[in-house]
Chain A
């Protein structure tokens, strides 16, 4: 905990200028904020259309999630995130607590076979702690990696970083939520890679992960021995390659999602005319398979617009990371970009049959307040970094 943290304390913050009555626009990073807001808007339209036929998609709750997220993001934006760089131990504890909380009796709330939910006493709101945990993990890994200032020379340090990342990853696998686990793993891994370990180490690590994953899948496919992955998890992982492993469950869902996307055509079927979703053929059309609903309603053009907005936002974030000097800020931006890009890849990829089926929400679009609030908070974090950036000459 040296170097960058102390260094950052000396940076004059933009907030000072604001207090002197300067434009708020200079304090927000528009290339990231605008696409994010457009995505939220786009998502609201899609969820509103879903709410017409799907009683589970409550539009007012979606709006409430957006509002909560915007408030939280504004607070984060006011706050200088760099202060978090000093709190890696606390972050690790919070991360662990968040991920263990669904296992705490009295709090846990299971749904659809996942114990990833916490029911807050007295107000009866259920939240998914793994969503904020993603952010905490980003900040935690960024804080740890930033110490090395872009070059990890010592293998022991590299291994230690990997070991820290394994803590949230391991805890989330206990829920078990393989999808969120993968997001945390990929996001954390990208932060570590960008923090400057030697390439051979990374290669070896990836090799170990790939071989390990392959062994787990093979082990789970062999009859008669205790399986690491449950059958439904294994089916979800391989169903996109071979839909026949689960033709009535995930294979059916996948096929229906592909039909929804493909039948959208160039211009889509129009708002509220998504027959796949309205007829109930497309499962979870407001959450996990929301992209299929969007693609069915708005077609290829709508899909391009969605992907374009994501690309605009993510690339802007990475470009900002290139310009920001403080390693911690850089790595937080990298983490956010990595999280968004992987979630888009996984969620959209799942709907079009190129990724395994997992229960990952599409950022800013999917119904679900936990995800919405966390994702908007991530936007707030990027904005905070911009606002509190060190101005270069």
Chain B
């Protein structure tokens, strides 16, 4: 700056000297005057004065012309440099400042014991501008360097899924050698950059994939919707956001606040100077209620059991799910859905072929979280609730018995229905009706309701236990299920003749045994059993345990348990039902009981076989443990099997085994190909 000052001062001094010289000497000359009218000589030398007049007239015209020029320039400069100066100054700043966004790492997702289910890892990524595709040589060099075929490289650079103007991801997780080569030869790779990205990493592989969900590049709709929301995180094109599961549900917690680095650049984009820096704030860590160990057992069990059913029983066992809930708090201990997928497939953008695979019906939709989105007929698991309804409405008591011959004609011979046990159960009371799952008992109950003063008492009880309504679990895309009643049937079958649309006695019998149009989700069923286990208090199921403080120890938010349904039942009624449920485990069949004998804790539960016309049944089991002081409610449903006792029950037993660390010793799945230890058991 000294040189600046010297030059300015020198120039000013010189200017002052020149002006001074002019003022001093110029005035002494005094022949010059701005007053041109006075002493100025006219044209002389005898020429006519008119020519001189012409000259002076034209020259005055010239003066006017020159004055007009300067006035115009001055006026325009006035408006630009004084009036609109701020706007131009803003544009000038805009020209030379660039803001570089530094992405904030997403929060991690931990299980209830602090194990990392989802975390981040740095990844060196080669990105290229869209125009690189036109340079054949550059693309060829890039593909050689990244070890990819030429056409694959070309396709990646052409891919506009991250935005038409944004840089295209060519290769993720490149080696330091590649980075060094590209950095050393900028002239060979114009418009190719290395970005250090933070990517989702899944230490447990696909564990709890349906709970944690996956991430993806922010979509155009998400970008649009966040613009009008004030105070929320502002997304930018290319941001990674949660697209499913907890990643989606708790996006605002997991998403950090990106940092900004302001720099001065020249017209070529070269950074000249750093101006300001706002550090990125990483997102908060989530602690889930999921227990990784139990979750792993549940997922492995689903694979093993379905494999076993396919090979030993010859049923497709195409899919299934399992949920375990701590009934006192509503904490979801595990939630598994089969088939599953690896969320890592979505890291760095999912390929079209991977996406097609995950959304193909042939693969049974691995992205689908069956525990909350799969709606099935409840089968005999509903009989527990039907019993409570019957006891409440006086259609049954501890003493009342029915006679099951295997063929029931309560609505006349032409409407006769079979018990699943066609040889019949004989004389049977309610408790054993539950234990043996005798259909005739519940046909009678259904008939009783049909002719009672409150024909929809069954539905009322089901709804009281939360069926037909959202549990409100903190995961997206939960389904409602369906508790059919007269009004629903009338509207639903609007094309059918009136006679078929009307609510019939058979409908009551159907819903009493969980068949027909009745649909539930596995989570709803587990929650309903929580009502029985927890003395009529159904807590809202949830997967979030707490949000960890971004800095330091402790949590900033702890999930507050919340009751969603209150369904207290008289002690004596519950007693009948729970005895019946215990009987299911320890009395109904020796082949069931042997599995549970290896578990010290007493368990109660109910099998179920949900039937849909023309399809293989759904095998259910919902268990409660310990039977005397219930804490865990575990439910499982498996599609396309023989029955619940030989499918869902195995899964529940395995989960209980993981909870109490007492695995099912009797049952070993020596099925070839059922290697679940690597954590990537996709189909």
Among listed A129-137, A211-219, A231-239, A343-351, interface-contacting one: A343-351
**Which residues 181-220 of A have a CB within 8 angstroms of B?**
190, 193-194, 196
Q: Which of A196, A307, A320 contacts B51 (CB 8 A)?
A: A196
Residues of A within 8 A of B11 (CB): 41-42, 44-45
Asked if A279 meets B58 with Cβ closer than 8 Å, knowing A30-B26, A38-B15, A392-B41, the reply is no
**Which residues 259-303 of B have a CB within 8 angstroms of A?**
264-268, 272
Considering the complex, give the chain B residue whose CB is closest to the CB of A300: B81
Query: B306-346 CB contact bits vs A (8 Å, 1 = yes)?
Result: 00000000000000000000000000000000000000000
Interface of A is mostly: helix
Are B69 and A315 in touch, CB under 8 angstroms? no
**Which residues 225-282 of B have a CB within 8 angstroms of A?**
264-268, 272
Q: Which of B15, B51, B63 contacts A318 (CB 8 A)?
A: B63
Query: B5-31 CB contact bits vs A (8 Å, 1 = yes)?
Result: 001100100110011011001101100
Are B8 and A45 in touch, CB under 8 angstroms? yes
Residues of A within 8 A of B81 (CB): 261-262, 264-266, 295, 299-300, 303
Are B85 and A323 in touch, CB under 8 angstroms? no
Are A318 and B18 in touch, CB under 8 angstroms? no
Most chain B CB within 10 A, of A7, A322, A338, is at A322
B556 within 8 A of A: no
Query: Smallest CB–CB gap between A333 and chain B, Å?
Result: 9
Q: How far is the CA of A342 from the CA of B89 in the complex (A)?
A: 29
Query: Smallest CB–CB gap between A328 and chain B, Å?
Result: 12
Query: Smallest CB–CB gap between A166 and chain B, Å?
Result: 21
Q: How far is the CA of A251 from the CA of B4 in the complex (A)?
A: 33
A393 within 8 A of B: yes
A280 within 8 A of B: yes
Are B41 and A323 in touch, CB under 8 angstroms? yes
Query: Smallest CB–CB gap between B340 and chain A, Å?
Result: 52
Are A263 and B73 in touch, CB under 8 angstroms? no
Q: Which of A38, A316, A337, A348 contacts B18 (CB 8 A)?
A: A38
**Which residues 13-72 of B have a CB within 8 angstroms of A?**
14-15, 18-19, 21-22, 25-26, 28-29, 32, 34, 36, 40-41, 43-45, 47, 50-52, 54-56, 58-63, 65-67, 69-70, 72
A352 within 8 A of B: yes
Are B62 and A319 in touch, CB under 8 angstroms? no
Q: How far is the CA of A25 from the CA of B36 in the complex (A)?
A: 22
Q: Which of B40, B77, B266 contacts A303 (CB 8 A)?
A: B77
Residues of A within 8 A of B72 (CB): 345, 349, 354
Residues of A within 8 A of B19 (CB): 34, 38
Q: Which of A261, A315, A325 contacts B41 (CB 8 A)?
A: A325
B74 within 8 A of A: yes
A229 within 8 A of B: no
Q: Which of B21, B26, B41, B51 contacts A31 (CB 8 A)?
A: B26
B84 within 8 A of A: yes
Q: Which of B8, B47, B85 contacts A265 (CB 8 A)?
A: B85
Residues of B within 8 A of A280 (CB): 266-268
Q: Which of A193, A275, A304, A314 contacts B74 (CB 8 A)?
A: A304
Residues of A within 8 A of B25 (CB): 23, 25, 30
Are B54 and A196 in touch, CB under 8 angstroms? yes
Q: What class of interface size applies to chain B in its complex with A? A: 35 or more
Most chain A CB within 10 A, of B44, B59, B61, is at B59
Are B36 and A281 in touch, CB under 8 angstroms? no
Among listed B90-98, B362-370, B381-389, B573-581, interface-contacting one: B90-98
Are B66 and A392 in touch, CB under 8 angstroms? no
B173 within 8 A of A: no
Residues of A within 8 A of B69 (CB): 341-342, 344-345
Asked if A263 meets B89 with Cβ closer than 8 Å, knowing A150-B52, A295-B77, A304-B74, the reply is yes
Are B54 and A263 in touch, CB under 8 angstroms? no
A259 within 8 A of B: yes
Are B88 and A151 in touch, CB under 8 angstroms? no
Are B63 and A315 in touch, CB under 8 angstroms? yes
Query: A12-51 CB contact bits vs B (8 Å, 1 = yes)?
Result: 0000000000010110011100100110011011001000
Query: Smallest CB–CB gap between A341 and chain B, Å?
Result: 5
Residues of A within 8 A of B26 (CB): 30-31, 34
Residues of A within 8 A of B29 (CB): 25-26, 30
B80 within 8 A of A: yes
Are A322 and B74 in touch, CB under 8 angstroms? no
B78 within 8 A of A: yes
Are A194 and B96 in touch, CB under 8 angstroms? no
Are B70 and A259 in touch, CB under 8 angstroms? no
Q: Which of A7, A48, A275, A318 contacts B62 (CB 8 A)?
A: A318
A330 within 8 A of B: yes
Are B88 and A271 in touch, CB under 8 angstroms? no
Considering the complex, give the chain A residue whose CB is closest to the CB of B62: A318
Q: How far is the CA of A323 from the CA of B56 in the complex (A)?
A: 9
Q: Which of A45, A259, A263, A348 contacts B7 (CB 8 A)?
A: A45
A272 within 8 A of B: yes
Considering the complex, give the chain A residue whose CB is closest to the CB of B60: A322
Query: Smallest CB–CB gap between A187 and chain B, Å?
Result: 11
B82 within 8 A of A: yes
Q: List 29 A-B contacts (CB under 8 A).
A: A26-B29, A29-B32, A38-B15, A41-B11, A150-B43, A196-B51, A256-B95, A259-B88, A259-B92, A259-B95, A261-B88, A263-B85, A264-B81, A266-B82, A266-B85, A271-B7, A271-B8, A275-B264, A278-B266, A279-B267, A280-B268, A295-B77, A300-B81, A300-B82, A304-B77, A318-B63, A319-B32, A319-B36, A337-B66
Q: Which A residues are within 8 Å of any B CB, using their own CB? A: 3, 7, 23, 25-26, 29-31, 34, 37-38, 41-42, 44-45, 48, 149-151, 190, 193-194, 196, 256, 258-266, 271-272, 275-276, 278-281, 295, 299-300, 303-304, 307, 310-311, 314-316, 318-323, 325, 327, 330, 334, 337-338, 341-342, 344-345, 348-349, 352-354, 392-393
A-B contacts besides A256-B95, A278-B266, 7 pairs, CB < 8 Å:
A25-B25, A262-B84, A280-B266, A307-B77, A319-B32, A352-B77, A392-B41
